[in-house]
Amino acid sequence: MTPPNPPNASPKRDIVESINKFLLKSKFPEVLALIAVIGAASGLVSTLFNLYNPSTPALADRISRLTKSLNDSARIITEIEKEVDQRQELLERLQRDAETAKNLAALNSPQANAVVQALRGELDKESNKSFWIGAGQNFVFTILGALLGIFLPGIIHRLPWRNRGTAVPASDIHTPPPGQPGSGV
């Protein structure tokens, strides 16, 4: 039998002593060991299940995904190279334009005047050429319009469908005498 608790014992100490007694008298350590063994076994089974689980991708699937990714990467790299080449061409063209502008800016006054006169001469030639082409077109269409105006009424009058139809002879047209309704007077 256990000795009675002294009157000055604390309640916390009583709880700790009762837990210690329970652990020593019961099979708690064996239950705890059994729980640990069951946990370890379930961890082992879970690990083995993950190793042999068919839901994990096979090596062939991973290789095909890797191949697809590499092909996509190669395609994107090719597109980037094309864009870089296009930008390089644009850069070269801009550099040529800048060089031309620099050369034009470097011209002195007599050279600049000569370039301006040469450009004006070319523009005058093109303007003169354009004038004569426009005048020729206007002349041709004027002549065609005049000829069409002269000959079209005669052509239309001679068309076969022009003389056919429901024409009413003038003798059949009834006109009321003046002063009657419908005479228009």
Q: 0.85 cut: is pTM over it?
A: no
Q: Is residue 140 part of a domain?
A: no
At 60, the pLDDT band (50, 70, 90 cuts) reads confident
Instruction: Tell me if 160 is assigned to some domain.
Output: no
pLDDT at 143: 94
Do the domain assignments include residue 144? no
173: DSSP letter: -
Q: Using alpha carbons, select from 116, 120, 117 the residue that is nearest to residue 128.
A: 120
Percent of the chain past pLDDT 70, that is, above it, reads 68
**Domain shared by 51 and 82, yes or no:** no
Average pLDDT, the chain: 77
Total tally of structural domains belonging to the chain: 2
**Claim to verify: residue 62 and residue 50 sit in the same structural domain:** no
Token pair in block for residue 99: 């060089």
**What is the domain extent for residue 43?**
13-56
pLDDT of residue 23: 62
- Please check whether residues 97 and 74 belong to one and the same domain: yes
* Tens digit of each residue's pLDDT (9 = 90 or more) over 98-124: 988 888 777 777 877 888 888 898 888
Res 41: pLDDT: 76
- Asked if 124 and 131 count as a contact pair (C-beta separation under 8 A), the reply is no
- Total length of the chain: 185
| Confidence band of 1 (pLDDT split at 50, 70, 90) | very low
Asked if the model's pLDDT at residue 54 lies above 50, the reply is yes
